[in-house]
Amino acid sequence: MGTKAMEAFVSNETALFMNKHPPHVFKPMSLPSIIVKLTLGLLWCIIHLSISLFSLCYHLICNLEYYLISSGLLPKYRNLQLERVKYLAIVVDSREANNAVKLKQLLCWLSTIGVKHVCLYDIDGAIKKYFEPGMNGSGDGSSADSLDVNANTKALHCCHGEMSIECISGCDGKEGIAKAANLLCSMYFNGDKYTHGVDKSELVFTEADMASALKSIGYGGPEPDLLLVYGPARCHLGFPAWRLRYTEIMHMGQLKSMKYGALVKAFYNFSKKYQNYALPTLLLHS
Amino acid sequence: MLDSLISQDLKMEKEKQPDEIVTTGVLESLQNFIRKCIVAVLSYGPMPRHIAFIMDGNRRYAKSRSIKEGAGHRVGFSALMASLLYCYEMGVKYITVYAFSIDNFKRDPTEVQTLMELMEEKINELLENRNVINKVNCKINFWGNLGMLSEPVRLAAQKLMASTAGNAGLVLSVCMPYNSTSEIANAVNELCAERRDMMQREHAGSSNGRAAGSGAHSDISVADLDRHMYTAGCPDPDIVIRTSGETRLSNFLLWQTTFSHLQNPEPLWPEFSWRHLVWAILQYQRVYPYIEQNRIQAKKQL
């Protein structure tokens, strides 16, 4: 970019900025200021009300589409290609994580669609508590080895077939990483490469070391191909970082208003997206 | 505004007639006034303090416009500068951009070399034309494994960081070369080294012939790791915007984005403009009560 052009642009813009009052300067509220503030507030409310109305219309149209998808009237959604969804993750907002009925329904739908391995996550661990009685590891040793699942996994016969369900929570995220860090540091200090006051080896832990440490203390697990967020906003809510690196994240809305057609559409969109994705994502790319 | 910058990059500048200059000036003033009014209305609601950008789509932009790939990245840099100023205008204090991933080194060496040269060129431009930074009082950080960069780029980045360290305005953090898991591993290394140094001091300090204790240090906590992240001292992002409609985070700020609103607008990064930023903030304001409630609850649990 031409530097002169950038300078001209900035000089034009910053002349306006320099006249702006610093935000921390307290200004007594005069009547005109109050009127201006009320006007701004009114305009702000009108803008957001308009957006809400637009959003409502959009949701109604989407619901119609989901109904058509559920009824099988849209041909392109009839044959889903699920080969690349080897592992699915679901993040549920903590306020809805206690909704066992909806969770079971969701799992049933996933089973119907053909998903074999699901990871359920909520930050507070409510889902884990709900499924806890059955958590004794996967019954099928071979599938457990290939998936590298942990003790949070249970095999569930759900609706139309076997499905493995892993339940994790916020403590599997940052706290799990802290525990792995603890393990690495302990191994370093207690190992023969370090004695009191004498450092015999260079201290360098790599990402691979962290991954191994996480796995050894039970916080490993496969990286989901797709993560569906059920909640008011598209936030991952602390899903374990080592398992979220290249996962596609889609927002599904709230659990209480979930639709089967929305699930099908999400998988369809993922299958289309995955065609353009071969390796870990690179930035500044085409 | 950005269109004019782009046109100057891509097309020959035509000589303007005086009346055209006046008309352009009046239109720009009107645009600025309207923009300021909209920002004033927007600012009535909660505004994000920290926005993170994954600047995706430069090459696709170049391909769609039938221009060279390098030109796409250059236009992307223009978009970055424009977004910086728009964010400053809206009172956003922290901006973080994902400029180069560690994974990007696996790409075609020619492309990597081109990107490194572009980065060096732009950093040196900012160093030479300090008026740009000084006018917005911008502090620039480079987060990542700088040792992986070629020496000219690394030195230029370090020089720019040092020269802007004292600025107290907007904070621009450029992640290059970066990925989140590498940042976490780096934090673990620093924490472990810190504890090693403490133990060595304890050992050196035991001068009474007593055997040095094993050092009953407490377990490493999340707060300990927070202190050693590149983002220490910086609030977590309120919004993470990945342009070009992609839904992945690609190993970007995974530790810091627990309660960040993740957005993936369709425009490619060079097309990202002021109106897209306004829309992003409006979307954030709609979910702000939910996000803020989650943050408060998480703090209470700590």
The percentage of residues in chain B with a pLDDT greater than 70, rounded to a whole number, is 88
DSSP letter for each residue of A22-91: PTT------HHHHHHHHHHHHHHHHHHHHHHHHHHHHHHHHHHHHHHHHTT-SGGGTS---TT-SSEEEE
ipTM of the complex: 0.87
A250: nearest CB among B106, B214, B247: B247
Q: Using CA of residue A196, residue A201, residue A202, residue A207, what is the dihedral sign?
A: negative
Segment A128-161, tens digit of pLDDT: 888 766 554 444 444 433 444 455 666 555 555 6
Instruction: Calculate helix-pair angle for B69-89, A3-17, nearest 10 degrees.
Output: 10
Confidence band of B110 (pLDDT split at 50, 70, 90): confident
The structural domains of chain B, with segments of one domain joined by +, span 47-179+235-300
Tell me, what's the pLDDT at B161? 94
Active site residue B56: yes
CA-based nearest distance A231→chain B, Å: 10
Cross-chain residue pair A185–B191, CB shorter than 8 Å: yes
User: Which residues 114-133 in chain A show a CB within 8 A of chain B?
Assistant: 123
Mean pLDDT of A232-251: 96
User: Please, what is the average pLDDT of chain A?
Assistant: 80
Tell me, what's the pLDDT at A207? 93
List of chain A residues whose C-beta atoms are within 8 Å of the C-beta of residue B293: none
Backbone φ and ψ of A216, nearest 5° = -70, -25
List of chain B residues whose C-beta atoms are within 8 Å of the C-beta of residue A1: 5, 8-9, 74-75, 77-78, 81
User: Which residues 63-102 in chain B show a CB within 8 A of chain A?
Assistant: 63, 69, 73-78, 81-82, 85, 88-89, 91, 98-101
The one catalytic residue in B56, B108, B197, B236 is B56
Segment B230-248, tens digit of pLDDT: 999 999 999 999 999 999 9
Tell me, what's the pLDDT at A278? 43
Cross-chain residue pair B249–A249, CB shorter than 8 Å: yes
Q: What number does CATH give the domain B47-179+235-300?
A: 3.40.1180.10
A51 contacts chain B (CB < 8 A): yes
